[in-house]
Amino acid sequence: MGGWAIAVHGGAGVDPNLPMERQEQAKQLLTRCLNLGISALRSDLAAIDVVELVVRELETDPFFNSGRGSALTAKGTVEMEASIMDGPKRRCGAVSGLTTVKNPVSLARLVMDKSPHSYLAFSGAEDFARQQGVELVDNEYFITEENVGMLKLAKEANTILFDYRIPLGSESCSAGVESPLHMNGLPISVYAPETVGCVVVDNQGRCAAATSTGGLMNKMTGRIGDSPLIGAGTYACDLSGVSCTGEGEAIIRGTLAREVAAVMEYKGLGLQDAVDFVIKERLDDGKAGLIAVSSKGEVAYGFNCMGMFRGCATEDGFMEVGIWE
């Protein structure tokens, strides 16, 4: 056993012109969530409890795209999704299409712990939430004034908003040329990849992972991305725990999170080498990033796009919070 390790992320794909004030706000939030997880690990909380705790905190803060502050659908509503996975016995839970559940990751945990299923969506997930007595709020709770403005901009623009939280009126928020980014062969006007996630290995070598998101700004209603899909956006097993972020359709096609564990198991790669291999070889033309821990107490991350909001720490005192390479 190599001791505990933790990593958090707030999304991959960051506008290089993101104002310094925004960068500092992101780092402060990541540091706060990292310290929350570290404190829990020092109190001997199990890995699965720590990932839920940290992602709940990220969902509650409106800065990143999950829970309150989620990206808006083309209809101006919020549809959230999340998943969680416990490495021992590969137990998992996932939810999609949530419109009133304050903390989607906790409903995913209840699907894992309190239902005979692994995945519930839309009205069925909302019904289950009411049965379980989780905290519900009006959809308006999740909608921020900033995102309403950005949805309007998205509908008017034919360019990418690399980071849709650039203040309105900023000349740096769009590319100014026709979008070169495609999903499933089709150009998209706006890309908001700020999924949040957390991966943890505790001092008993148990790995866990959780991921939560509001999805793409101006997405079609009913769209489901990689975040709730076990093996794509989230995966944990005896070897590792992984949470992904970025272009969801590419992550789905590459079964990115599972691939990290697979190349560790079948190719004998170490954690960082496995992450590097998967980012290079399994994304094709897609842009994404991921965070990972191993049962040995290692932590790693990788991305092939412009920046990823992330933080990581290990029991031996290592701690890092960053955005760029």
Domains observed in the chain: 5-141+191-316 (3.60.20.30)
The residue with tokens 């909302």 is: 126
* pLDDT, position 157: 66
* pLDDT, position 159: 42
Q: Residues 150-172: what's their mean pLDDT?
A: 53
Supply the DSSP symbol for 242: E
Encode pLDDT of 209-255 as tens digits: 999 999 888 888 899 999 999 999 999 999 999 999 998 889 999 99
Encode pLDDT of 16-26 as tens digits: 778 899 899 99
Q: How far apart are CA 240 and CA 294, in angstroms?
A: 4
Q: How far apart are CA 301 and CA 320, in angstroms?
A: 11
Q: Which of 73, 159, 195, 211 is catalytic?
A: 195
Kindly report the average pLDDT of the chain as a whole number.
89
Encode pLDDT of 104-128 as tens digits: 999 999 999 999 999 999 999 999 9
* pLDDT, position 155: 78
Q: Residues 62-69: what's their mean pLDDT?
A: 90
213 labelled catalytic = no
- HSE value, Cβ hemisphere, 13 Å, CA-based, for 188: 20
Annotated binding site for substrate: 223-226, 245-248
